[in-house]
Structure 1
Amino acid sequence: MTHTAKPTVLVTAPFDADTAESLRDEFDVVLAEPARHGESLAAAGLDAQLATATAIVAELDLVDRATLDKAPALRFVVSCRAVPVNVDLAACAARGIRVATTPGRNAEVTADLTFALILSTVRHVGRSERWLRAGNWRPDAVFEPYEQFRGAGLGGRTLGILGGGAVGSRVLRRARGFGMTVKVYDPFLPAGHFGDDASVVSLDEVMSTSDVVTVHVPLMPQTRGLVGARELALMRPDAFLVNAGRAAVVDEDALMTVLREHRIGGAGLDVHHQEPLPADSELLTFDHVTLTPHIAGASDDVVVEHSRIAADALRAWAHGAPRRGPVLNQSGEMSRP
């Protein structure tokens, strides 16, 4: 950019204070109260700030047509999401507004929670805690939990990972620390991509040979329902399915059937086809299922990371320099400028 005045950046996402301060040499940074609901930014009472903003950094706010109408100087939007579901891409493209995302912002903490689900499910952590809190551990049966909650160790067992990207590769690293053999299904990766750390194999091999299968593919038309009745039928009866990625990758009816009929060992689920999970959900009745309320990305570390990525994107845009990672072009498609 050749303007002498600093670009004005309106930040409505949760944002790291140190990162915001580091941007002030190059930008006029306006920090708004972070949104708690996914409503139009046009209705947030920020009309004066929108009128002068040349860039917006948003997470939950909708940057829609109504927002753009109130932001005539806007030229750049950073969506603090892996996929910019809160941004009207067509409207931005029509006005020449570039859109960037913050890919991988929660990859580390999602990998952490994935392993928490694996351990909790395989070692019956949640079930045994509920049993203990209910007052079932009696002096006359002190060794009962030792028998009732026997679980498998992870060392020497096989972890199957669906999707070898930002999260999947980090789950792989953790699995190797536990001494697991790792197999990855990812049609975009060559067979030797992970060297000796993991084999890149077919979906059927992952499903049929893994002790635990964990889901980390992005949700797109090709992956919706990727794990269906046929794939679940390939799993061994003592194998576990873990999903801290996208609920729709796994066919809901097929999963409920195998859980109901105990055709797999159990499941650990952080994502659900209906959120919040209904109070009458059958999932809540399954002792062999660990459930968490979509908390994989619930960490202050994610805010620090998406702030860093957003700051890099803003600097690259301001200087007309290419940035690493995906940027959405004016047709709304991913590109690497």
Structure 2
Amino acid sequence: MAKPLKIVHLDGVHCPSPTFTIPHTYTEYPNTTDLSTVASRIGDADVVITTRIPITASTLDQCPGLKLIAVQAIGTDMIDLAACKARNVVVTNVPAASNESVAEHAIALYFAIRRNITGMHEMMVQGDEWVKKGAVTSLWTGVPRTCREEVMGIIGGGELATIGRALGMTVQISERKSVAPSSTRPSRIPFPTVLQTSTILMITLPLTPSTHSLISSPEFALMRSDAILINVARGGIVDEDALVDALRENRIAGAAADVFSREPAGRENVLVREGGMGGRLVLSPHVAWFARSSIEKLRRTVVENIEAWVGGEVRNVVV
């Protein structure tokens, strides 16, 4: 009789524990904040489940029995995919696990900035400015736009286009930055044009070597001064120092981030240190994905990926 599959889950805090129908042993850690323990926790496991805990080439070398990395997320940027491919370690993920939730969170961040929700809240609870002045339109750096006046530029994909159009926005999907304007696909808009014309710039694409620091000082220089940028993708896509500079110099009107260059993000992160900038910078702790439907799909698909692999079928394979 074949031995039961040995499965280790490195950060079970994000979803309820999966339930398998195959013979197995299962060890779950709520989280693995000390990355020096990753290899020892995996040990001689056949399968490791991770949402955000990185798996490096060094870890793979210390865990030669590892055969499958089941990523319980869409993004796989924390996995050394080249090292996995070289060692014949299969990597799977959960495509489109949280598209609806992420899109809705991005829209919530949009409204928070455009309507200066946090600035108004702080004004209400910290004093009686409204009572003294009778009007507080000074909370805005300019008159807010309504949705029908917005031009939403999307760098990536997801459900945002559908929501934006339903709200009455003009929506334009960006072509890749590397594609010349003359080669732009019919359904896309050249990357520089999207930067120059959008009043909302939504970042929703994966973090890869080609998208690292995709938005930095040259890109902010092209953007409209009344534009806002919202990043619900990965922190490394937007140069955080350049973003803060753009806000300080009023090159853009506002920004929001649910993701950061290093997570969890504390005071060492420039966005966290800068605070709210009067409501012009809104932050959330990588929770755009968090919704009942997302959790159910993540939990179900991870089980399906692992059990299909055991049965000789590969699903949702990244490498």
Give the TM-score taking structure 1 as reference length: 0.76
- Whether 1:180 aligns to 2:169 is yes
In the alignment, structure 1 residue 33 sits paired with structure 2 residue 21: no
The equivalent of 1:43 in structure 2 is 40
Report SS of the residue matched to 1:35. Answer: coil
2:164 aligned counterpart, secondary structure: helix
CA distance in 2, matches of 1:279, 1:222: 23
CA deviations on 1:204-238 (whole Å, 9 max, x unpaired) are 21112111111122222322232233332222222
Tell me which amino acid in the other structure corresponds to 1:286: M
The AA in structure 2 aligned to 1:43 is: S
- TM superposition score normalised by structure 2: 0.80
C-alpha contact 1:155 1:178 (8 A) present in aligned 2? yes
2:116 is equivalent to residue 124 of structure 1: yes
Q: Tell me the residue number matched to 2:5.
A: 7
CA-CA distance at 1:253 after TM superposition:
4.4
1:191 to 186, 190, 198: 186
- CA-based RMSD of the aligned residues comes to 3.2
Amino acid at match of 1:37: T
- The answer to whether the aligner puts 1:286 opposite 2:277 as a matched pair is yes
Alignment match, 1:20: 18
* Counterpart code for 2:161: L
* Cα contact 2:91–2:317 (8 A) shared by 1: no
* Aligned equivalent of 2:203: 215
1:79-94 map, 5 Å: 79-87=71-79, 89=81, 92-93=84-85
CA–CA distance in structure 1, aligned partners of residues 78 and 284 of structure 2: 21
* Deviation, structure 1 residue 6: 4.7
- Partner in structure 2 of residue 197 of structure 1: none
Q: Which amino acid aligns with 1:174?
A: I
- Say whether the 8 Å CA contact 2:90–2:317 is kept in structure 1: no
The equivalent residue for 1:256 is 244
Q: Which moved more, 1:155-164 or 1:93-102?
A: 93-102
**Where does structure 2 lack aligned partners over 5 or more consecutive residues?**
none
Q: What's the counterpart of residue 91 of structure 2?
A: 99
Could you tell me whether the CA contact under 8 Å between 1:109 and 1:296 is conserved in 2?
A: no
The match for 1:161 is: 154
Alpha-carbon separation, structure 2, partners of 1:254 and 1:226: 11
Task: Give the distance between the partners of 2:305 and 2:240, measured in 1 at CA.
Answer: 37
User: Does the 8 Å CA contact 1:163/1:185 hold for their aligned counterparts?
Assistant: yes
Q: Deviation at 1:35?
A: 1.6
The equivalent residue for 1:331 is none
Q: 2: distance between equivalents of 1:32 and 1:108?
A: 28
Matched residues, number: 305
The answer as to whether partners of 1:265 and 1:288 remain within 8 angstroms in 2 is: no
- Post-superposition CA distance 1:68-125 (Å, at most 9, x none): 5776654222122434455455664455332222333333322222111111011111
- Deviations for 1:157-204, whole angstroms, at most 9, x for unmatched residues? 21111112xxxx211122122111100113399423xxxxxxx20112
The structure number with the bigger radius of gyration is 1
CA distance in 2 between counterparts of 1:148 and 1:319 reads: 60
Change (3 A) 1:227 1:94: closer
Task: Show structure 1 runs of 5+ residues with no match.
Answer: 193-199, 329-337
CA drift at 1:305: 2.7
Deviations 1:110-147 (A, max 9, x none): 222211111101111111111111113443434x1356
> Is 85-94 or 218-227 further displaced after alignment?
85-94
Identity of aligned residues (%): 23
SS at match of 2:230: strand
Secondary structure of 1:276's aligned partner: coil
